[in-house]
Structure 1
Amino acid sequence: MKIPDAFNHKPVIVADHYDQIDGRYAGRSDAKCLSLGITPGSDNRRSELSAQVWRSTGDTLSAQSEELPLHRALDLAILICRSLEHFNEAYIYEHLYDPEQPVLDRIGLQGSAMNVAICTDNANIREDIQTFNQAISDNGEMIGERLRTLSRVLKELGY
């Protein structure tokens, strides 16, 4: 399913076919895609990084707010971390990604895999990916603090 472009959230990185790996809902989930992107900031000058769970309403996708099952929140964390890894080296590409290879990674989960890919369905991907990359840079200190905390907590849990 194509992600609608009528929402404030502009997807840059997507994990499509998410319904195939959605925890205990795998194979029958209405959560069809996860995405990371940009949303106009509250001051309408700065873009904010955002995550979105795209749910199916039949033939289309909807950006309904929802309470997240824990496995879905962890899948979003995996998507965020893998995306940050890509953007650490994205400068080597003219458009911050290789248009011939938009899939950045396939991460095995529950007998299937979560694709981590550039959202090539986004008609403004070249602009939006630049904005997304800049927002990562602008928020680097805040993101880094949380990643270091997450890393510490995971180590304390034995992971």
Structure 2
Amino acid sequence: MKIPTTLKHKPVVVSENYEQVDGRFARNTDAKGLSLGLAQWNDRGKIDISAKVWRYTGEKWSRQSEELPLHRVLDLSILICRTMAHFREAYRYEHLYDPQEPVIDRVGLQGDAMTVAICTDNEKINEDIKLFSQALSDDDELIGERLRTLSRILKDMGY
């Protein structure tokens, strides 16, 4: 399915077969494509690049399609990696985290740091964290394949 080029987000680089590789939703997803392009929120004279997940309901392109600035896509990747690293050692804690120190990490970015922490404001965190941990474990192979691919590409690029 072709990603539309007449909407506000202007695709430049596309993956139009994303529905074939959308993790455990592959071949049964409304996420039909990914694109990198000119952001829909661009103001005159100011150009931003965004990443977009294109969703299709079967009848029309969905308003639930998501568009993110590239730095946020990378920030989410950092969050995923730090989360996975935490859960590899989380078995050491009775509740899969230390309630006295819920901050997992502070990742330095742009002169400050992004805090990565367990959400202790969640009333059911002790139940939800177990479900989260199990789901992360269930998807380990799927996520691991993507992280290994990303690692290889980053190494090839000199990072």
TM-score when normalising by structure 1:
0.59
Aligned match of 1:120: 120
Moved more, 133-142 or 93-102: 133-142
Higher CA-based Rg:
2
Alignment of 1:96-135 (within 5 A): 96-135=96-135
CA distance in 2, matches of 1:122, 1:150: 32
Aligned match of 1:21: none
CA distance in 1, matches of 2:146, 2:107: 22
Give CA-to-partner distance per residue, 1:34-62, whole Å, 9 cap, x none: xxxxxxx99xxxxxxxxxxxxxxxxxxxx
Aligned match of 2:50: none
Alignment of 1:29-68 (within 5 A): 66-68=66-68
Aligned match of 1:157: 157
Q: Which runs of 5+ in 2 are unaligned?
A: 1-23, 26-63
Aligned match of 1:94: 94
The structural deviation recorded for 1:65 is 6.6
> What amino acid is the match of 1:75?
D
The structural deviation recorded for 1:66 is 3.8
Tell me which stretches of 4 or more aligned residues in structure 1 moved more than 2 Å.
none
CA distance in 1, matches of 2:65, 2:112: 26
> What amino acid is the match of 1:106?
R
TM-score when normalising by structure 2:
0.59
CA change 1:136–1:156 in 2 (3 A) is same
Identity of aligned residues (%): 71
SS in 2 for 1:154: helix
